[in-house]
Amino acid sequence: MRLARDMLAWFFMPKRFLFGAERTANLRVPTFETLCFIDEPDEVASVHKATGSVLLGGAGNAFLTPLLRDQSAFTLDGDRHKLARRIAGKWLTARAMQDSQPIIDAIIQQELDNWQAAGRRDIGDWSRWLTMRILCKITLGIEDQARVRRIYKRFEAATGYTANIVTYTKRFWAPRGIISTGHFVEFLVKRIDRELDQIIADGRAHLQNAPAENVLHGLIEAQQEHGYDNAFIRDNIAAILAAGYDTTGSALSWTMFWLARYTDKTADPEAFRSEVLRYCPPVEILPRRIAEHALEDACEIAPSIVSVASTSGDAGPLVCPCVHRVHHNPALYPDPERFEPNRFANQKAGSPDTYMPFGAGGRMCLGINLGKLVLDRTIALIWERNLQVQTNLRRFNPIRRNVSIWPGFVFRGRLQPAQNKEG
Ligand code: HEM
C-alpha cells in the first residue's frame, strides 16, 4: 500500500520528497529504480567530484532515451559526451547570448503583449511556447511561427503529463509489439523526427553558401571532422529543444508564481531569478548511475548508498543529489521557506555544491546562459512595463510534468497594468 502511494507521489506529486520533514533517504520505484537521495553538502560535493568516473550522468539519464535516444549530451558519457558539449556549448556562451538579447527581448515583448490581450491564460503553456520560440530562433534560426507551432505541438505531445508514466516505467521505453505503450511512444517520437530531419536538411542547405550561425549549423559543420552520423546531430538538437523548453518553461512559470506575490520592484531581476531557482528549481534530482563494478567505490564516496546497496540489484541504486533539499537546508540558507531575493542582492549564487538549479561540474546545463537571460529579461520587461501578474494559485502544489516540476496542475493567470508604481 505504502509502495503504491510512494510511487504515485513520485510519478505526479513529489512534494514530500523535496520539501518538509519527511525526507526519505531512499525510494524504491519498482517500475524504475531504487533512488538514493543525497542532500548532505559534503556528500553532494563528493558526488559531484566523482561524476564522470565512478558515477555516470549519461547512464543516469537513461530514462530520457525514448525521446533523446543515445547520442545526446544528456545520454552520453565519456569522450562523446565531451564532444557533444564542446560543439553545442560553443554557440551557447554568455557572450553569444548577450549578442542575441535584442532578438530575445523582441520575442518576449510580443508574447507579453499577446498574454495581456488574451486575458486569463494557462501560464505553463505560455511559458513553454515563449521558450520554444526563443530556442527555435537562437539555436536553429527558425522564426516562422507556424513552423515553430508545429514543432511545439510535436514536443508537447511527447512530454506532457502522460510522459511521466513512460519516463519512470522502463518497460515502456521500447516497443513491445504493435499495441504496446512503447510503440505509441515511438510513433510520437517519429513525428518529432520528421521535423528534425527537415531542420537538419535546411541547415545543410544554409551552409552551402553561408557561414555557420547557430548550434544546428555548428553540429552539421563539425560532422565530417569528427565522423559522427546524422543521429548524433538529431539527438543533440532534440536534447536542446526538449531540455531547453521544458526547464525554462517551468522556471518561467515559477517566476510568474513569485512575481504575483512579490511586488517590490526595486529588487534586482538577477537576484529575483536566483531566488526563484533556489526556492523552486525546475529539476529536482541529478541522477547518476554507478559505473560497472564500482559499487564499493561509490559507497565510499557517498556513505548514504550503503543502506540500499544490497537491496537495489547489481547496478546499485541511482545516486541522486537532491536539488530542492540542498536549497532548503537552513544551515546553507537561513529561513529557507521565506522567499527573499535580497539573499542574492550582493552576492552571486554560490558553488554547485550548495546551489545547483543548473546541475554541476562536467554535466552543468549547456543552456545556462540562455536560460538565465530569458528569465532575467522577462522579469525586467514585466517590471519596466509596470505590469502585474495575477494567478489562480495562492499556494503552490508542486506537480511533475515529465521530468520537471511545476507550480500546480491548473495554473492560470492574467498580466495587467499594475494599480500603482509599487504594485
Ligand atoms: C532555467 C532554465 C534551465 C534549467 C533550470 C536547466 C537545468 C538543467 C539541469 C538541472 C541539468 C542537469 C545537469 C546535471 O546533470 O548536473 C541540465 C542539463 C542540460 N541542459 Fe539545462 N536547464 C535550463 C535551460 C536549458 C536550455 C535553454 C538549454 C538549451 C539551450 C538546456 C540544455 C541542457 C543540456 C543539453 C543539458 C545536458 C548537459 C549534460 O548532461 O552534459 N538547458 N539543465
The predicted-structure confidence for 309-330, as pLDDT tens digits, reads as follows: 888 888 899 999 999 999 999 9
Assess whether pLDDT exceeds 50 at residue 423.
no
Atom from ligand 1 closest to the CA of residue 252:
1
The predicted structure's pLDDT at residue 1: 78
> By percentage, how much of the chain surpasses pLDDT 90?
87
Assess whether pLDDT exceeds 60 at residue 341.
yes
Strand-strand pairing, 412-417 and 121-122: antiparallel
Atom from ligand 1 closest to the CA of residue 92:
30
Predicted TM-score (pTM) above 0.75: yes
Nearest C-alpha to atom 17 of ligand 1 is from which residue?
365
3-class DSSP state of 14: coil
> By percentage, how much of the chain surpasses pLDDT 70?
98
3-class DSSP state of 108: helix
The predicted structure's pLDDT at residue 19: 79
Ligand 1 centroid–CA 281 distance in Å is 12
Atom from ligand 1 closest to the CA of residue 283:
10
Nearest C-alpha to atom 16 of ligand 1 is from which residue?
359
Ligand 1 centroid–CA 384 distance in Å is 28
Domains of the chain are 2-32+65-287+321-417 (1.10.630.10)
Ligand 1 centroid–CA 2 distance in Å is 33
* DSSP string of 365-411, one letter each residue: -TTHHHHHHHHHHHHHHHHHTTEEEEES-SS---EEETTEEES-SS-
- Note the Cα 362 to chain centre separation in Å: 16
Q: In Å, what is the CA distance from 254 to each residue of 66, 87, 407, 412?
A: 27, 31, 6, 12
Q: Which three cell numbers stand for residue 39?
A: 542532500
The predicted structure's pLDDT at residue 136: 98
Atom from ligand 1 closest to the CA of residue 135:
30
> To test ligand 1's pocket by mutation, which of 82, 232, 358, 365 has the most ligand atoms within 8 angstroms of CB?
365
The stretch 40-50 carries a mean pLDDT of 97
Strand-strand pairing, 34-38 and 318-321: parallel
Nearest C-alpha to atom 36 of ligand 1 is from which residue?
365
Ligand 1 centroid–CA 377 distance in Å is 19
Q: What residue ranges line ligand 1, CB within 6 angstroms?
A: 57, 73-74, 85, 92, 139, 239-240, 243-244, 247-248, 251, 282-283, 286, 357-360, 363-367, 370-371
Atom from ligand 1 closest to the CA of residue 51:
16
Cβ neighbours for 80, distance < 8 A, ≥ 6 positions apart: 71, 228
Ligand 1 centroid–CA 358 distance in Å is 6
> To test ligand 1's pocket by mutation, which of 65, 136, 247, 318 has the most ligand atoms within 8 angstroms of CB?
247
Inter-axis angle of helices 368-384 and 101-118, nearest 10: 50
Ligand 1 centroid–CA 219 distance in Å is 18
- The kind and range of the H/E element at 249 are helix 230-261
Q: What is the per-residue pLDDT across 155-190, written as a single tens digit (0 to 9) for each?
A: 999 999 989 999 999 999 999 988 999 999 999 999
The predicted structure's pLDDT at residue 422: 44
The predicted structure's pLDDT at residue 306: 94
- Note the Cα 350 to chain centre separation in Å: 20
The predicted structure's pLDDT at residue 327: 96
The stretch 110-132 carries a mean pLDDT of 98
Mean pLDDT taken over the chain: 94
Ligand 1 centroid–CA 359 distance in Å is 7
Strand-strand pairing, 404-406 and 26-28: unpaired
Nearest C-alpha to atom 27 of ligand 1 is from which residue?
244
- Which DSSP letter does residue 140 get? I
Atom from ligand 1 closest to the CA of residue 139:
30
The predicted structure's pLDDT at residue 195: 98
